[in-house]
Amino acid sequence: MRKQEVIRIKHNMASSMRSLFSDHGRYVECFRRFLNNSTEHQCMLEFMDKQLPGIIARIGDTKSEIKILSIGGGAGEIDLQILSKVKAQYPGVHINNEVVEPSAEQITKYKELVAKTSNLENIKFAWHKETSSEYQNRVMEKKDIHKWDFIHMIQMLYYVKDIPATLKFFHSLLATNAKILIIVVSGTSGWDKLWKKYGSCLPQNDLCEYVTSSDLTQMLDSLGIKYECYDLLSNMDITDCFIDGNENGELLWDFLTETCNFTMTAPPDLKAEIMKDLQEPEFSVRIEGKVLFNNNLSFIVIEA
């Protein structure tokens, strides 16, 4: 077979790969499997317990109301942890918590969580079904610019087209002593290496950008915005990815590659190469027979 024919066949096979974001139901299930198999939420909760109280120590000084803006608040689990820390820091102070979230399904889950959570007195909730850029456009058009005491963007900057403009805009909304908390994957994580090496071989989509803390800190430096960056260790158990036909492994593969049915649609040589790489020390460690992918997170705190 001539080389050109091999390339054409590979191209045709590759073209059958489609973005995981084209199948919302499957994406949601893959994300759920990722959370079940990773220490992502535990890592965030550890940060909230140990670091957040110091970070928010002055955001409510001399204020009768603390205004918090959650960008991409999802189903609200982490948001409520943040609110509990702010409440503990400023007992009795009214908190106005506004949420910008494009998924109606996630907003519904967030409202259900609030309804069954006690100890939320003094907290007023409002939800806006929109993306961060839609929020930005609405605010600018109406010239309805509020200042916020705490803004957080947790694992959402991947879905923003113009990140520097977004950072600059939200930084301009900070009140006195206010902070922005951003959580993204670390530049030291396996994600960084995976995206850099294989991003161009995987389905390109308009929904998701490959961005890590290394990219963000460079952007913040060029914007002249002050920040602190904390790295926390996290991992994702991908052992099932190396068991043929394992359903959990198949879904984790989809999440890792952002490809719908990756193992069935990827060219065999690409699949074999990624499979081999993901077991290498730069991507994962082996502990007690498990393959743990490096899911390290960065917590970036921006000052007003």
123 is in an annotated binding site: no
107 is in an annotated binding site: no
15 is in an annotated binding site: no
Residue environment code for 12-42, b if the CB has 16+ CB neighbours within 10 A, otherwise e: eeeeebebbbeeeebbeebeebbeebbbbee
154 is in an annotated binding site: yes
CA-closest candidate to residue 217, choices 132, 299, 131, 304 = 299
204 is in an annotated binding site: no
Q: How wide is the angle at C-alpha 160 spanned by C-alphas 131 and 98, nearest 5°?
A: 35
Tell how strand 174-185 and strand 148-154 pair up: parallel
105 is in an annotated binding site: no
Ordered strands of the 290-294 beta sheet: 235-237, 290-294, 284-287
Which parts of 245-292 fold into alpha helices (H)? 247-257, 262-265, 268-277
273 is in an annotated binding site: no
Q: Which two tokens stand for residue 304?
A: 């007003």
**What is the SS3 assignment for 243?**
coil
Can you say which residues are annotated as belonging to the binding site for S-adenosyl-L-methionine?
72, 101, 106, 132, 154
Can you say which residues are annotated as belonging to the binding site for substrate?
40, 295
Can you say which residues are annotated as belonging to the binding site?
40, 72, 101, 106, 132, 154, 295
